[in-house]
Structure 1
Amino acid sequence: MLVKKFIFLALLVFIPISIAGHFLHWASLTIFITSGLAIIPLAAWMGTATEEITLVLGPSLGGLLNATFGNATELIIALVALKAGLVDVVKATITGSIIGNLLLVVGLAMLLGGLRYTEQEFQPIVARVNASAMNLALSAILLPTAVNFISGGIEEVRLQRLSSAVALVLILVYGLMLLFSMRTHTYLYEVGLAEIELAEIENANQGTDNAPHNVNMWLWIGVLFAATILVAIESELLVDTLKEAISSLGLTSLFTGVILLPIIGNAAEHATAVTVAMKNNMNLSLSVAVGSSLQIALFVAPVLVLTGLAIGQPMDLNFNPFELVAVVVAVLITNSVSSDGRSNWLEGILLLATYAVLALTFYFYPIN
């Protein structure tokens, strides 16, 4: 944990470096890399600030705050890209975040946790509920694409209306899932308080579990506000240099959106999920990883659809067919692995191997 904190602190140096690079007109690739590295610790600080504020607000309001800010970094990056008209990149980021959380994060958690413990257990009921919700989300982003493909292409206005209607349904389902997890079935869920329980585990290990923890809420609100502003600034730098940078690297927009950007936005969350898995808390690890995928599918994607409509950058739910194939593969194998409520290191390897194959396929995917 100390190593993780040290790394995040060290990465803060890239905030002034990336901003200086912008004003000094450095190469686009340099600004792209430094701004991407700067976003990683800022996302971690947003998570820490949310955690501390949650301690004051309590489980219900704190859980709602966590559910709102859990994927704030990805949402901000996507909003900046959407404003710039990079709709294809935004769509790729949505599918990439879902795939990355389900395969890369869960895979790493099961692998590293399984290397320390022969077999780890988690709530199969929650796994089934999450699987059902993910199947709904998958259907919601699959059907508009299927309708457009099977019908030979429908009018853009009609497709946009369909996407907006589906977005409203998904947001409603997301709200009901929050009600389910934070009110009617709280005993099944961690309510998204991953960092809080991680802190409790560490305190117990250090023999300080009874030590008082005084929270300066206004300080952490300031940290959350400042980190959010800086993430928005760094996202602007990242998106502004995106096209030139990926051209210099020989990458496609699809690969960048599906693989690179989700890793940047989710790095802090990934570290939390893996850390708690290594402390034999797979329930919490899956709550972070799978919960993040659900939030992307049920909240972030619909918000982007509706926001695009409002700002004059229409975005629909008509995805690249291969992106949907990748999401289907990720959902199916993750549901299969998690259905029995047990995990081991080999299952982690299977998920990571699937992610590697998909990443390679996206890398070699031909440019239209």
Structure 2
Amino acid sequence: MGGQRPGRTDYLIPVLALGFALALFLWPNLAPEHNGPGAGVASLMATLLLTGAAFATVAHSDLVAARLGQPFGTLVLTLSVTTIEVSVIASLMLNQENNPTLARESVLSVIMIVTSGIVGLCLLLGGFKHREQHIMQQGITGYLSVIVALGVMLLILPNETHAHTRGTFTPFQLAYMAFVSVGLYGVFLYMQTVRYAEHFEAQQPRHGHDKPSPRQFATALVMLLLSLGAVVALSRHVASGVETFLGQFQLADPDAVKGALLAALVLMPEGISAVRAAARNHLQHSLNIALGSVLATIALTIPAMAAISIYIGKPMVLGLDPEDRTLMVLTFVLCILSFGTGRTNALTGIIHLIVFGVYVMLLFVP
């Protein structure tokens, strides 16, 4: 997972983040949702600390993963990032007025940023440095089959049902699809970790990664939980600050921009790990991180938000707009073509990045 060991900052930031969240709780005039003199500074501090806590989460999950081995290690990282994402999406969704399309936009942003942006950068960088890279085709096909199935069922199918509002499921349909998503993810995990574990292992040996001691593992596990706690505690304050900041601009689709900013924030440390792995000619490991994050986001974030939506009685729009639906399907087709031979090169990376550029353009000029 990158071979990095947490530094002193990675131990300090979660404690600072929790302390700052407690200060915001005890002195509500500092909270970003209030317009007190310290609200702007508090919002900026909350965002910086949440970003640091997210990086600390990945650093400590790396250490935990090194002890557990693969593919469990990648699973720890993706589940940690998914926990961060769910907490921030829930905070944004529940902040001020309801944002019924925010969960959809956040999940779409993760799909597009990873499958076009991060994957494109990995293929381009790996292709330039190593000309061609090899992957375990069976494992990548497993990822893509589940991602495509869930993406279509959860983000395209809602536009085709007989629900009263276009783009939504009825409460029963939403609960059923949430159960299907979690169940399918559970089946995939069994196949990945037990039945076909060899399909997800990197072909190249990875040197220089010493297994941490039990004491290091225990420390990293505690700090991982603290880091996740800090992210969850700060997410409400960051959500309020983002709402206030974006409210100053006349955006055509503010929820789409919010979702993209959220996805970029959450995926930043994971994306760096994936790109570094591709540069070291560990493309299989890189794609395990990237595609694992997409799969966990679709399969776990939407069911979590569905449970919140049903519980609080607020609607959640999942069906994509036509331009978003077209881009998502195009990206799925590109991924299938890019990994269809088991060998990759820089050309497909460039194409992925061009599609990513179109996605970014449509965020601001839909």
Which category of TM-score, normalised to the shorter sequence, fits these structures?
Answer: 0.7 to 0.9
Post-superposition CA distance 1:161-215 (Å, at most 9, x none): 2122111111100000000000100111149xxxxx99x54x2xxxxx6687454
Tell me, in whole angstroms, the C-alpha distance in 2 between the residues paired with 1:359 and 1:105: 13
Using the size of structure 1 for normalisation, the TM-score is 0.82
Q: Is the 8 A contact 1:276 1:285 kept in 2?
A: yes
Task: Give 2:331's aligned amino acid.
Answer: A
Q: Is the 8 A contact 1:74 1:262 kept in 2?
A: yes
Q: Which residue of 1 aligns with 2:137?
A: 124
Give the number of aligned pairs.
351
Say if 1:114 and 1:5 are closer, same or farther in 2 by CA, change over 3 A.
farther
Alignment of 1:93-132 (within 5 A): 93-132=106-145
Q: Which residue of 1 aligns with 2:353?
A: 352
Post-superposition CA distance 1:257-302 (Å, at most 9, x none): 3421100011000000000000001111111111111111122212
1:288 corresponds to 2:289: yes
Q: Which residue of 2 aligns with 1:270?
A: 271
Tell me, in whole angstroms, the C-alpha distance in 2 between the residues paired with 1:188 and 1:336: 19
Deviation at 1:248, TM superposition (A): 2.5
Q: Which residue of 1 aligns with 2:146?
A: 133
Structure with greater helix share of residues: 1
Say if 1:5 and 1:332 are closer, same or farther in 2 by CA, change over 3 A.
farther
Tell me, in whole angstroms, the C-alpha distance in 2 between the residues paired with 1:60 and 1:107: 23
Using the size of structure 2 for normalisation, the TM-score is 0.82
Tell me, in whole angstroms, the C-alpha distance in 2 between the residues paired with 1:33 and 1:26: 13
Residue identity over aligned pairs, in percent, reads 17
Structure 1, unmatched stretches of 5+, are: 192-196, 204-208
Structure 2, unmatched stretches of 5+, are: 25-29
Tell me, in whole angstroms, the C-alpha distance in 2 between the residues paired with 1:219 and 1:213: 10
Q: Which residue of 2 aligns with 1:242?
A: 242
Q: Is the 8 A contact 2:136 2:200 kept in 1?
A: no
Q: Is the 8 A contact 1:71 1:296 kept in 2?
A: yes
Q: Is the 8 A contact 1:37 1:264 kept in 2?
A: no
Post-superposition CA distance 1:46-93 (Å, at most 9, x none): 123223334455657656644532422212111222333333222211
1:170 corresponds to 2:171: no
1:161 corresponds to 2:158: no
Q: Which residue of 2 aligns with 1:206?
A: none
1:329 corresponds to 2:330: yes
Q: Is the 8 A contact 2:88 2:235 kept in 1?
A: yes
1:227 corresponds to 2:238: no
3-state secondary structure, aligned to 2:248: helix
Tell me, in whole angstroms, the C-alpha distance in 2 between the residues paired with 1:211 and 1:168: 37
Task: Give 1:310's aligned amino acid.
Answer: Y
Q: Which moved more, 1:62-71 or 1:232-241?
A: 62-71
